[in-house]
Amino acid sequence: MTYRTMSAIVQRQGLAGDPHRPQYHFLPPANWMNDPNGLLQWKGQYHLFYQYNPHGPFHAHIHWGHAVSADLVHWTDLPIALTPTAERADAHGCWSGSAIDNNGTPTLLYSGLHPQVVCMATSDDDLLTWHYYQGNPVIAGPPAELQTETGGHFRDPFVWKEGDYWYLLRTGTWPQSGINAPPKGQALSICERQVVWEESVEMFLLCLLSLQRAVVRLHAP
């Protein structure tokens, strides 16, 4: 049992008597969490990764927490999967992303910040420890055609595979006049081998157009 795992047990025990702490829904050992990232089934168990600040109950120092379950109800804490590290593309936080099984290699694709990029990490010990890819970032930002319009907001990769290709969607923004808040859209990246990605500007614009139509329908009398 690692020090971090033992620390998680001690933290949970210290909060066990809190009447306001949910007993059914998953919570971290303590402190801040937000969106779950990369639910992955591996060797008959479900692995949950989530945005986590181990240093306090506030949004900062974003890591990837990690827990495992056989039934999606009862969870066991595992060591933190991703930690922001100085001099790396994820130095300002390991933000949202996905977990995939890449031909037998557990792989995380996630957002780094300032600038917003896509990073990758892999595991070779059944998801207990994760190795930062030294070639990160695997995607260094939005396509050049969209850099100005998106304002650099280009994160949260969602990844899946169809046939021989991996597909990766990221959220972005596209300022529009006449709408109070800039709409969000998706940009599609496609690759034949996981580390080399080709951007699709057309798909980004198509998703934005579909979203704008949805907004118009939502506000129509």
Any idea which of 45-49, 115-119, 181-185 has the lowest mean pLDDT?
Answer: 181-185
Which residue spans within the chain are E strands per DSSP?
A: 32-42, 45-53, 63-69, 75-82, 95-102, 105-112, 117-122, 131-132, 154-162, 165-173, 184-191, 198-200
Do 45 and 70 form a contact (C-beta atoms < 8 A)?
yes
pLDDT in tens, 10-43: 887 888 788 888 878 899 998 999 999 889 999 9
State the architecture of 1-138 in CATH terms: 5 Propeller (2.115)
Instruction: Say what the alpha-carbon torsion angle 104, 105, 111, 117 is, to the nearest 10 degrees.
Output: -100
Q: Which of 35, 101, 124, 126 is catalytic?
A: 35
- 35 catalytic? Reply is yes
User: What residue has token string 């998953």?
Assistant: 26
Do 123 and 131 form a contact (C-beta atoms < 8 A)?
yes
Q: DSSP class of residue 30?
A: S
pLDDT in tens, 75-134: 999 999 999 999 999 999 999 999 999 889 999 999 999 888 999 999 999 999 999 999
Higher pLDDT, 142 or 96: 96
Do 107 and 100 form a contact (C-beta atoms < 8 A)?
yes
For the chain, domain boundaries = 1-138, 140-221
Higher pLDDT, 121 or 2: 121
